[in-house]
Amino acid sequence: MKKTAVLLYPQFSEYELSVALSILMQGAKPIVTVGLSDTLIRGESGLTCLADTTIHQLKDEEIDSLLLPGCMDIGVLQHEQHVLTWIQRIAEQQALIASISSSPYLLAKAGLLKDKKYTVGLTQEQREVLGVFEGSHYMNDLVVQDGNIITARGSGFIQFGIVMGQALRLSFNDKWYQA
C-alpha cells in the first residue's frame, strides 16, 4: 500500500495534524514523515521530531497522498524552491494533497491552486500582499475540496482530517472526533 507523506518543517503546527494522523492510523494507511533535511524539527508548540526521510531521499512512487500542516509564519518556507518543486512533482502523480492553515500558500506559489476553489488561514489582506492567490476562487469555508486538493483553515482541523480520510476511502469512526 502506498503511503501518505507528512511534511514536517520548522514551526509546523502539531495540532493541525492530530485528527488527520489519527484517521490515517484508524484506516491502516501507512505514513512517512518527511523533513527538509535530516536534522531535528521543532514544531510551533515545542514538539521535537526527527522525520523518517527527507524530500530529497523520498521515492515519489512510494506515496499517493501528501499532508501539509501550516504554521504561524509560513514565511519560513517562502524561499525554499526545492519544497515547491517537490510538491509539484507529487501533484503531477495525481496524488491527493491535503493542506491546512497557512500551507495552501505553498500550493498557490507552486501554481497548484490555479482555477481551483480553496480556503486558507490567511486574511484577505495577507493573501493580496503575498500575490499568489486567485481571489475569485477563495471560499470562506473551513474545508474545501476541489478535485485532488483539500484545503482548510486551521480551526477546521477536525473536519479536515475527516474529509482527507473520506477522500482516501479509509475506514474510520468519525464519532471519535465529536464532542
| CATH value at residue 143 | 3.40.50.880
Q: Over the stretch 159-175, which tens digit does the pLDDT of each residue have? A: 999 999 999 999 999 99
* Type and span of the H or E element at 106: helix 104-109
Please identify which residue in the block is written with the cell numbers 505514513.
31
Q: What is the pTM of this model?
A: 0.96
Residue 101's φ and ψ, nearest 5 degrees, are 65, -120
Which pairs with CB-CB distance under 8 Å and at least 24 residues apart come from 157-163? Answer: 157/15, 157/16, 157/17, 157/18, 157/19, 157/20, 157/100, 158/19, 160/16, 160/19, 160/20, 160/98, 160/100, 161/18, 161/19, 161/20, 161/21, 161/22, 161/23, 162/19, 162/23, 163/98
The pLDDT score that the predictor gives to residue 78 is 72
Q: What average pLDDT does the segment 48-67 reach?
A: 96
> How many structural domains is the chain composed of?
1
Mean pLDDT over the full length of the chain? 95
Question: C-alpha grid cell for residue 80?
Answer: 525554499
Q: What average pLDDT does the segment 137-143 reach?
A: 97
Residue pair 84/106 in contact (Cβ under 8 Å)? The answer is yes
* Type and span of the H or E element at 4: strand 3-7
Q: How confident is the model at residue 77 (pLDDT cuts 50, 70, 90)?
A: confident
The pLDDT score that the predictor gives to residue 79 is 76
* Type and span of the H or E element at 126: helix 124-130
120: pLDDT strictly greater than 90: yes
101: pLDDT strictly greater than 80: yes
Could you list the residue range(s) of the whole structural domain that residue 147 is in?
Answer: 3-177
Helix axes 157-167, 15-26, angle to 10 degrees: 30
